Amino acid sequence: MKVYKSDISYFSGKLEAYLRYKEIPHSLVDCNGQTLQLLGKKTGTAKMPAIELENEQWLFDTTPTIQYLEKSYSDTPVLPPEPALRFLALLIEDYGDEWLWRPAMWWRWMPKLSRVTLGRRIAGIMASKALARPLGYLFAQRQLKEWLWQDGMDKGNSPLVRDMYIRELEFLESLLEKQPYILGSHPSVADLGFFGSMFRHFNNDPVSGEVMRRRAPNTYEYIARLWNAKQSKLPKDIEWQWPEQECWQPLLSRIANDYLPYLHQNALAFKQNNKRFDYKGKTMSFNKTVTTDYRVLCRQELQREFALLSEFDQQKVNNLFAPVGGLGALHLDGLIDSGLDKQFRLPVNGNTTKAKLSWHQRLFGQPRN
């Protein structure tokens, strides 16, 4: 198993943590401009991480990749067997992947120290060490524009985007005082969803990393614990915990009142062929934010997972979210098809539709949207 990754990549860190925990044999390939072109040819999208299997088969996108690998490496599962808790784990994973992406971009690209440091480092890896300074500046400016100023952030809501990180630290600090992982004694996909932003961005980037060390030592310790976790070192019996502690309420509220309404409004905009939409949630709003087909797929998958639950388990999940307003936004306007099912059906055989890349994408890969 050959893993194409980058040590500064949000989702590479998530996938590596899973492979390390499950002790799945693999080799690592550091991505640059050339390898991103290879991934575009083999998977149809020039994004990392990706896994090359035997016989020209490939895996990409961490959520379906982990679910695919769990079928072969079922010991010490990261998906809880209890149906309601499994759904919650997948919901939290999705929230961590897609909602925490924006504050991760803020803390990497808004503070000058982080912007200059990461811009030069990424440019040196992906393009040319000799041109790292000018290319790093251009890359950092692209990130600022595409992920923040041209994706719904303005001077009014910028502090709210910044403080999304602080709110997650508050949740994790309270929870990790009581248990080692988000849903109990062992890592789950809920932990892996948080790990992408918390490890390669918030923990490792210079400015946000210092914030974590000063304000959230339990979280700082937890990130190292998850990176170092091995299934063979933990007890075979997993003690899963249903989220009943009071510290869960703010997170559940953010999911119900900010993230799921975002997914719903994004899906409606996609259905209406609108490239941008004005998002309004409970605690923040983003005018003219980008409509994203991938996040239509995310909502679609969550709806499917919920529909698979028995009436008893659906009620259990509904009861959990009822005090914070319920899961209504997940179901509004029914199922909206993203059209991406076939593209994300794994594994792909390496002869998929080739990605059409601009020169900028060939150097730096495709943006997350």
* Averaged pLDDT for residues 52-69: 95
Query: 51 and 61 in one domain?
Result: yes
List, edge to edge, every strand of the sheet that includes 50-52. Answer: 27-30, 2-5, 50-52, 58-60
Query: 94 and 17 in one domain?
Result: yes
179-190: buried (b, 16+ CB within 10 Å) or exposed (e) per residue? ebbbbbebbbbb
Query: 20 and 84 in one domain?
Result: yes
Q: Please check whether residue 13 lies inside any domain of the structure.
A: yes
Query: 65 and 16 in one domain?
Result: yes
Of the pLDDT bands very low, low, confident and very high (cuts 50, 70, 90), residue 136 is: very high
Find how far residue 253's CA is from the centre of its chain.
19
Q: Please check whether residue 281 lies inside any domain of the structure.
A: yes
* Averaged pLDDT for residues 24-46: 91
What is the token pair recorded at 333? 């306007």
Better pLDDT: 33 or 70: 70
For 342, which DSSP code? Answer: T
Q: 256 CB contacts (<8 Å, ≥6 apart)?
A: 321, 324, 325, 326, 327, 329
Q: CATH number for the domain including 188?
A: 1.20.1050.130
- Residue 369: the pLDDT is 39
Q: Please check whether residue 142 lies inside any domain of the structure.
A: no
What is the token pair recorded at 332? 């509004």
Please answer whether residues 332 and 261 qualify as being in contact, where contact means their C-beta atoms are separated by less than 8 angstroms: no
- Residue 255: the pLDDT is 98
Quick one: what percent of the chain has pLDDT higher than 70? 95
For 369, which DSSP code? Answer: -
Nearest to 238 by CA among 177, 183, 193: 183
Q: Please check whether residue 57 lies inside any domain of the structure.
A: yes
pTM of the model: 0.95
Q: Please check whether residue 15 lies inside any domain of the structure.
A: yes
Better pLDDT: 127 or 197: 197
Q: Please check whether residue 278 lies inside any domain of the structure.
A: yes
Query: 225 and 191 in one domain?
Result: yes
- Residue 357: the pLDDT is 56
Range of the domain at 257: 246-342
Q: Please check whether residue 212 lies inside any domain of the structure.
A: yes
For 25, which DSSP code? Answer: -
Query: 23 and 53 in one domain?
Result: yes
Q: What is the DSSP string of 203-235?
A: ITSHHHHHHHHHH-HHHHHHHHHHHT--GGGS-
Looking at the structure of the chain, the number of domains it has is 2
Query: 329 and 352 in one domain?
Result: no
Query: 169 and 272 in one domain?
Result: no
Query: 188 and 67 in one domain?
Result: yes
pLDDT tens, residue by residue, 273-328: 999 999 999 999 999 999 999 999 999 999 999 999 999 999 999 999 999 999 99
Tell me how many degrees the CA angle 76-82-88 measures, rounded to the nearest 5.
95
Query: 276 and 187 in one domain?
Result: no
Of the pLDDT bands very low, low, confident and very high (cuts 50, 70, 90), residue 125 is: confident
Q: Please check whether residue 337 lies inside any domain of the structure.
A: yes
Q: Is 46 helix (H, G, I), strand (E, B) or coil?
A: coil
Alpha-carbon distance 177 to 110, whole Å? 31
pLDDT tens, residue by residue, 337-354: 999 999 999 999 987 655
Alpha-carbon distance 33 to 73, whole Å? 32
- Intra-chain end-to-end CA distance of the chain, in Å: 27
pLDDT tens, residue by residue, 170-179: 999 999 999 9
- Residue 174: the pLDDT is 97
Query: 272 and 295 in one domain?
Result: yes
Amino acid (one-letter) located at 156: G
Query: 209 and 197 in one domain?
Result: yes
